[in-house]
Amino acid sequence: MNRTLLRMAIAGALMVGTPAAALAQTTTFPPGNILTGVSIAGVDVSGLTGLDASGKVLTDLVALRRAPLAVVFRSTAFTIDPDAVGYKADVDGAVVAALQAIPVPGVPLDIPLMQTISRAKLKDVLKWRDPQVDVPAVDATVRLNARFRPVIRKPKVGYGIDVPAAVTVLAPAFVAAHPAAPIPVPQKRLLPAVTSIGKVIVVVRNDFTLRLYRGTTRLRTYPVAVGQPAYPTPTGNFHVVEKQMNPTWFPPSSPWAAGLGPIPPGAGNPLGTRWIGTSAPGIGIHGTPNAASIGSAASHGCIRMRIPDVENLYPKVQVGMPVFIR
């Protein structure tokens, strides 16, 4: 039987984990013993039968490759099971080659052992592991302290597994002698989505003020009117959702506005010349033709400003800007 027919008869490569005893039932090797001076991947198989040589290679080499591979990502150590990445060793093919080998007397002959893994499976394992060990990026955030002043938390860069680089580094390790120390897994930087805090609006109802900050620096304080006791301005953390110049006023669905129709831009418009809508439902910052109401609780929930003041504030405001109401 030639080598090709024999390898077809033994159904290709031996999967790792096949018990040596089972080889007698599943594998047929050429008769005879391996000649002196022949080894397989450094394992001396001189004088052995095919079955004994296969068992020795499985015990002395393949079993060691099947041990979990120890790796470390930053300070987190974990292991990767070779079976999970499809480790295979063609022990049968190497033994057949060893049985057929005729070494030069006195010159050792080492038969290579074909070992493979699936890079696609290794990639999937690393992608699955990444969210368990990564260091997430931290966005810049803003909050208010007890004095209603902004406090900024700086952004932080995060770190995740660089999967393509990790596959390149780790794939060869599965088919080589595993190192004693865990293998460092390549990492990549994860950039925060929000890297800085720009301008911030803080409305303090009791003081009837709107304070404009850039980060923690107060740029200007404007006097405002806030909601009446029956229609209080809501407190909370909001943000700007829209801006309109010379808006049309549409009456809200509320008893106090019953029978009132839309009012187009002009001197009598209750919104003045500028509207800055917030994420608080129906609540915005706007001008008012009734300047005498500024400094009091006079509105139906919105924050009123003198028309020159809101026109000064308007270009400094961007959609998404934080709005704190206290």
- Measured at the CA of 298, the angle between CA 255 and CA 314, to 5 degrees, comes to 105
Q: Which two tokens stand for residue 70?
A: 């120890």
Element (H, E) at 25: helix 20-26
Residue 197 CB coordination number (10 Å)? 22
| Residue 138 CA: distances (Å) to CA of 34, 90, 127, 190, 238 | 63, 48, 21, 9, 20
The whole-angstrom separation of Cα 271 and Cα 141 is 31
Cβ–Cβ under 8 Å, residues 57 and 99:
no
Q: Which two tokens stand for residue 261?
A: 């129709």
Beta-bridge mates of residue 80? 69
- Assess whether 302 carries a catalytic annotation: yes
Query: What letter would DSSP give residue 175?
Result: G
- Assess whether 286 carries a catalytic annotation: yes
The torsion angle over the Cα atoms of residues 115, 120, 126 and 129, rounded to 10 degrees, is: -110
The whole-angstrom separation of Cα 316 and Cα 168 is 50
Catalytic residue among 178, 239, 286, 300: 286
The whole-angstrom separation of Cα 323 and Cα 326 is 10
The whole-angstrom separation of Cα 174 and Cα 122 is 10
Within 8 A by CB and 6+ apart from 208, the residues are: 223, 224, 225, 226, 294, 295, 296
Query: What letter would DSSP give residue 320?
Result: T
Residue type, 228: Q
Residues acting as catalytic residues: 286, 302
